[in-house]
Amino acid sequence: MAAIIEEKYTSISPAEFFYKYREVAGFANPVKAFYQAVKELIDNALDATDMHGILPDVKISIERADEVQEFYKITVEDNGTGIPPDIVPYAFGKVLFSSKYAMKQSRGMYGLGVKMVVLYAQMTTGRPI
């Protein structure tokens, strides 16, 4: 008869999971995180147009927000369908909440990209986004 081994089970929040395994998502260091942030924002802009047959017009702006701590502000503007203002906090802050679950997209899989950007920014700056 096999010995019964008692294991301890627990759960962690999505933020804690991302913190522990951020390198898997492309956020291993500040340079990779910056690249990943820009990529995710552009992918979202392209999805917002492509899924609705709109030829994309995407503008990206990168500016240094803090000279001492090397914080950057990345702004992406597109001519996509947009996110209703009351949905923005959920779309950018709630894990497993996305329009990508309701329609097929051409980039990404889980609608987690920008959420990881937000988490990384909050973890490394200590500031809300």
Indicate left, alpha or beta for 9 from its phi (over 0: left) and psi (-120 to 50: alpha): beta
Name the phi and psi angles at 59, rounded to 5. -120, 135
Is pLDDT above 50 for 125? yes
Q: What's the pLDDT at 108?
A: 54
Count of beta carbons in the 10 Å neighbourhood of residue 48: 21
Tell me the C-alpha distance between 65 and 20, whole Å: 27
Q: Which two tokens stand for residue 71?
A: 């914080």
Mean residue pLDDT of the chain comes to 81
Handedness of CA 23, 29, 31, 33 (dihedral sign): positive
List the Cα angle 71/74/76 in 5-degree steps. 175
Tell me the C-alpha distance between 44 and 40, whole Å: 6
Q: What's the pLDDT at 76?
A: 92
List, in order of start, the domains of the chain with CATH numbers. Answer: 14-121 (3.30.565.10)
Q: What's the pLDDT at 59?
A: 96
Hey, what long-range contacts does 27-32 have (CB within 8 A, 24 or more apart)?
27/116, 27/120, 30/70, 30/124
| pLDDT band with cut points at 50, 70 and 90 for residue 77 | very high
Q: What's the pLDDT at 38?
A: 94
Tell me the C-alpha distance between 91 and 110, whole Å: 12
30: Cα within 13 Å, side-chain hemisphere: 6
Is pLDDT above 90 for 58? yes
pLDDT in tens, 27-54: 888 899 999 999 988 988 898 888 889 9
